[in-house]
Amino acid sequence: DAAKSGYDHYMKKEIHEQPRAIRQCLRGRIAEPDGGITLEGLADLEPEGMVQFVACGTSSNAARYGARLLREHGIPTQTFLASEYTADAVPVDEETLVVGVTQSGETADTMRALREANGAGATTLALTNTVGSSAARECDHVCYIRAGPEIGVAATKTFVSQQVALALFTGALVGDSDPAFLEGLRELPELVQTVLDSSRAREVADAYVDADAYFFIGREYTAPVAFEGALKMKEITYKHAEGFAAGELKHGPLALVTENTPVFALLTAGSRLEKTLGNVKEVQTRGAPVIAVTDVPEEVGRYADHVLEIPSTHPQLTPILANVQLQLVSYWVANRLGRSIDKPRNLAKSVTVE
């Protein structure tokens, strides 16, 4: 219990450690005052071809976020679930940079994908939390996310640190970062702290603890957070939860929506809010309660039954803040249901078999 520093669960402690984890990830990596980003060991990395991401679970949601950031800067990317990556079926050669996103650095599926990529002559990079891990040793380059040890099986602070490391990685590759983006990164620890201090996630969890299922919708930068919100909910509550790219709702998932399936809508400025609002109206027509996670509450509040507010920042960084609200909702639902939050049934922190 001493190791939990007064928190009931490691997961809660680790959620609250996120401002510190972000500070550690940023430390010494953004030069003052010019804002140049340096990631040790990656100075000479200049990918000429495709950047491919391979990852599993929560790390694959971080990878999707990172891929979106790179694409926005004109760098071509592909994202693969590591278990689906086979060098004979994927175009990979000496010009490809393959990035393994893995907090443990030991996940068997990710390790196999990285070995195949190395075998095909690609340059490989491990983005990991674990110094000296198998991924760190296998890859040509390593970038540490510096989250500190994570005990809870459900990844929280390592996910945030992966997102921040991928934002830094993008800045380092692009070379010339937008000053507003750098400012957003610098202020991120305080903004996450604001979310932690002011969140109304517990009220939302109380209101919907008996729901049949939970759906999460996001678009562009927030789609990976919708996937991650659902994954976290499944892992620790054992309830049905799904994340969708908002535009996909009408292509099937809408059939699942009822008055007992709350929909968490990521409605942030910069992620084509108006379009996602259209999807919100579709679920409301079917009677579903809507919880808006938003940095523009005055614009979207009237479309929602509950609002989980996040501070405004650079649009590419709002997904990081929105995710913290969803972590807290899952935590409180699991808590109300009396689940084994730190060690959910059937799951392991690190999966070393394929």
Task: Find the shortest distance in angstroms from Cβ 105 to ligand G6P.
Answer: 7
Q: Is 133 in the site for ligand G6P (CB under 6 A)?
A: no
Residue from the set 103, 199, 222, 237 that interacts with ligand G6P by CB under 6 A: 103
Query: Which of the following is catalytic: 157, 250, 275, 349?
Result: 349
Does 351 participate in binding ligand G6P (rule CB under 6 A)? Answer: yes
170 contacts 66 by C-beta, under 8 angstroms: yes
Choose which of 18, 24, 110, 156 interacts with ligand G6P (CB under 6 A).
110
Choose one: 40-48, 67-75, 101-109, 286-294; the region binding ligand G6P (CB under 6 A).
Answer: 101-109
Q: Which is nearer to ligand G6P, 223 or 265 (CB)?
A: 223
Q: Which listed range, 8-16, 55-63, 117-125, 246-254, lies at the site for ligand G6P (CB under 6 A)?
A: 55-63
Question: Is 349 labeled as catalytic in the residue annotation?
Answer: yes
For residue 354, give the amino acid letter.
E
Residue nearest to ligand G6P (CB): 57
The residue range among 252-260, 279-287, 292-300, 344-352 that interacts with ligand G6P, by the rule CB under 6 A, is: 344-352
**Which region among 14-22, 147-155, 305-313, 323-331 touches ligand G6P (by CB under 6 A)?**
147-155
325 binds ligand G6P (CB under 6 A): no
Closest CB to ligand G6P among residues 166, 182:
166
To ligand G6P, the closest distance from the beta carbon of 130 in angstroms equals: 8
Position among 18, 104, 170, 261 found at the interface with ligand G6P (CB under 6 A): 104
Alpha-carbon distance of 354 to 186, in angstroms, equals 38
Binding part of the chain for ligand G6P, among 153-161, 207-215, 267-275, 276-284 by CB under 6 A, reads 153-161
Number of residues in contact with ligand G6P under rule CB under 6 A: 17
Q: Is 107 in the site for ligand G6P (CB under 6 A)?
A: yes
Q: Which CB, 158 or 271, lies closer to ligand G6P? A: 158
Residue 172 interacts with ligand G6P (CB under 6 A)?
no
Distance CA 161, CA 192 (A): 12
Contacts 24+ apart (CB under 8 A), 145-150: 145/25, 145/103, 146/21, 146/24, 146/25, 146/27, 147/21, 147/24, 147/25, 147/103, 148/17, 148/20, 148/21, 148/24, 150/10, 150/14, 150/103, 150/349
Q: Return d(Cα 264, Cα 302) in angstroms, integer.
A: 15
User: Sheet of 123-128: strands edge to edge?
Assistant: 77-81, 51-55, 97-102, 123-128, 141-144
| CA–CA gap between residue 251 and residue 241 (Å, rounded) | 17
Task: State the residue for tokens 């603890």.
Answer: 209
User: Smallest distance, Å, CB 233 to ligand G6P?
Assistant: 13
Cα separation of 240 and 314, whole Å?
Answer: 32
Helices within the chain (DSSP H only): 10-16, 18-26, 57-72, 108-119, 134-138, 157-174, 179-198, 201-207, 223-237, 273-285, 297-300, 318-336
Burial (Cβ within 10 Å: 0-12, 13-18, ≥19) of residue 298: exposed
Name 213's bridge partners: 240
What is the C-alpha separation between 103 and 144, in angstroms, rounded? 9
Instruction: Based on the shown chain and the rule CB under 6 A, indicate whether residue 224 belongs to the binding site for ligand G6P.
Output: no
Q: Which residues are identified as catalytic?
A: 349
Site residues for ligand G6P per CB under 6 A:
56-59, 102-104, 107, 110, 153-155, 347-351
